[in-house]
Structure 1
């Protein structure tokens, strides 16, 4: 899916009401964190992730790596919270945050 500026704006608006589903701490992107993130993206499509990492540069690199490994798009990053999106192949309307 190509994300237009209007679509990104819509996702940002939807993201305000979301609570972080996944928290990434000092261990970084472990296999368990990636598995949980994959599950969350498959179920919800639009996911808020909390990064409990102090250094700004480290947070940025973790977000980039997370998006790359999960094939997701970064919608917004504010402080220690990132909003990411990946379109589900067969979205469940009951679980999806964008439907």
Structure 2
């Protein structure tokens, strides 16, 4: 999904309030794909953190996880990053992008 500049700014502002729910450690990105899929379906916007033991920097981990889950990287700052994917569930309130 391709996001516009204003949509990315909107999602970035929403990321400030989030706490990381996915932590990537030495097991790598592949170990957290299933839990990230569940979080994306439930919340659409997910904040992740990369531990020093993973051997990846945040940009590499963000790109890899986004590719594996079909999400879009919203922001990468330090050891944290956020990804977004619209949910297919009907019972979840969707983020209204501008």
TM-score range, shorter chain: 0.7 to 0.9
| Conserved 8 A contact 2:25-2:52 | yes
Match of 1:38 in 2: 37
Distance (whole Å) between structure 1 residues aligned to residue 12 and residue 62 of structure 2: 17
Taking structure 1 as the reference length, the TM-score comes to 0.83
Compute the RMSD of aligned alpha carbons: 2.0
Aligned length in residues:
94
When normalised by structure 2's length, the TM-score is 0.84
Residue segments in structure 2 that go unaligned for 5+ positions in a row: none
Are the aligned partners of 1:24 and 1:53 in contact in 2 as well (CA < 8 Å)? no
Matches within 5 A, 1:14-93: 14-31=14-31, 33-53=32-52, 58-59=56-57, 60-91=59-90, 92-93=92-93
